[in-house]
Amino acid sequence: MNAHWRTAPRPLSLLETKGTAMSVTPAADRRRTVRDILGRKGAEPIVCLTAYTTPIARLLDPHVDVLLVGDSLGMVLYGLPTTLGVTLDMMIAHGQAVVRGSQRALVVVDMPFGSVQESPAQAFRNAARVLAETGATAVKIEGGQEMAETIAFLVARGVPVMGHVGLRPQMVHTLGGFRAQGREEAEAQAIMADAQAVAEAGAFSLVVEGTLAPVATRLTQAVSVPTIGIGASVDCDGQVLVIDDVLGLFSDFTPRFVRRYADLSGAVSEAAAAYSADVRTRRFPGPEHVFGLKASV
């Protein structure tokens, strides 16, 4: 999978490790691996945050297990109304930035809309390019039963895959908007079937988004790989949030499942206002901020 797999007489395949209980305590000075994440099923919760830039990745890296380069960057950084306009080149550029800024966390890059849906061969070409050009460990693919064949195709060819079920932003038009999933029993059963199909196809973990808590809990108990919730259940094996939501930087809207741990938007606005006032009144730059001529002897 990548150069950081632990040395063993014979490395275990994903299918072999999925059903086993492993106690994996990674060294502090090496990057987390797929095996490390698999070993957290039912154990210590997995901490995941999105990251899109090198400076933010450096700040988050000591505190998380997984850094997700999410296609949410389309909305958060580029002001797009949905994630559908995100391109593969955008994901690769931001994936490179996050890998450069991290040493410890496992880095996962989202596969954007249209990059994997056509065929397993298309998905492999694009996923292989992402891993080769970014240095990330894994890709994330939205989809359920319809993507199981593609996920199995990628895993068999050395591409670790994180799945994504429940609310799928790339399906926003089909789903009729960003709404919680699993309210009806038929819908809940479909999500459960999606999760089982993706896990059985070889995904090493599953993001469960915007899914009613009881459904997410049942799903976590039913699948053999770790689940990472966002707007799901505290019973998931881990949690993920968009970093700009956590920091209070993205204010277009605040989903119910978001907890803001800071309000940096206010601090940024205040800093910009203070700078503006200093420039307009010529208080900045001061003598200490400019380069003067050396005094002649």
Say if residue 263 carries a ligand binding annotation.
Answer: no
Q: What is the pLDDT of residue 47?
A: 98
Q: Is 13 annotated as a binding residue?
A: no
Which pLDDT does position 169 carry in this prediction?
86
List, by residue number, the catalytic residues.
Answer: 209
**Most distant CA pair in the chain, distance:** 88
Query: pLDDT at position 50, please?
Result: 98
Give the separation between CA 222 and CA 214, rounded to whole angstroms: 12
72 annotated among ligand-binding-site residues: yes
Ordered per-residue pLDDT tens for the chain, 297 residues: 333 333 333 333 444 444 444 444 565 679 999 999 999 999 999 999 999 999 999 999 999 999 999 999 999 999 999 999 999 999 999 999 999 999 999 999 999 999 999 999 999 999 999 999 999 999 999 999 999 999 999 999 999 999 999 999 888 756 655 566 757 889 999 999 999 999 999 999 999 999 999 999 999 999 999 999 999 999 999 999 999 999 999 766 566 667 889 999 999 999 999 999 999 999 999 999 999 867 665
E strand segments, 7-152: 46-50, 66-69, 106-110, 138-142
What gap in Å lies between CA 146 and CA 142, rounded to an integer?
10
The reported pLDDT for the residue numbered 15 is 41
Per-residue confidence (pLDDT) for residue 28, from 0 to 100 = 63
Cα atoms in the Cβ-side hemisphere of radius 13 Å centred on 56: 19
In a 13 Å sphere around the CA of 76, the CA atoms on its Cβ side amount to 21
In this prediction, residue 230 carries a pLDDT of: 95
Domains annotated on the chain, with CATH:
34-270 (3.20.20.60)
Q: Residue 272: its pLDDT value, please?
A: 96
71 is in an annotated binding site: yes
Q: What does the pLDDT read at residue 251? A: 67
The span from the CA of 79 to the CA of 244, in Å, is 13
The H or E element spanning position 241 is: strand 238-241
